[in-house]
Structure 1
Amino acid sequence: MVFYWRLRRAGSITMRKTTMVLMGIALTAVAGTELGWW
């Protein structure tokens, strides 16, 4: 568990950017789908 946290903390910047990109894509897909339904 400690190693896991160290690994996350070491790549926190990269993971944060990747998470933001994935969240943006997911939100865009959800918004597009809902707008498409309506």
Structure 2
Amino acid sequence: LNTFADKSDFLTITKRINGGTNGLADRQALYERALKVLV
């Protein structure tokens, strides 16, 4: 997963962890929100 994280490949990471893309839009929004706080 680190390789995908280094590339900011959110979709592939999501599929690997969850096996699909259910709730992807919500997770993407939360991820982007977290990045604003952390970076």
| TM-score, normalisation: structure 2 | 0.50
Structural RMSD (CA): 2.2
Pairing of 1:11-22 with structure 2 (within 5 A): 11-22=23-34
Residue in structure 1 matched with residue 19 of structure 2 by the alignment = 5
Gapped runs of 5+ residues in structure 1?
28-38
- What's the % identity of the aligned pairs? 4
Higher relative helix content: 1
**How many pairs does the alignment contain?**
24
CA distance, structure 2, for counterparts of residue 12 and residue 26 of structure 1: 21
Distance 1:15 1:5 in 2: 14
- What is the CA–CA distance in structure 1 between the aligned matches of 2:19 and 2:23, rounded to whole Å? 10
Q: Greater relative contact order: 1 or 2 (C-alpha under 8 angstroms, separation 6 or more)?
A: 2
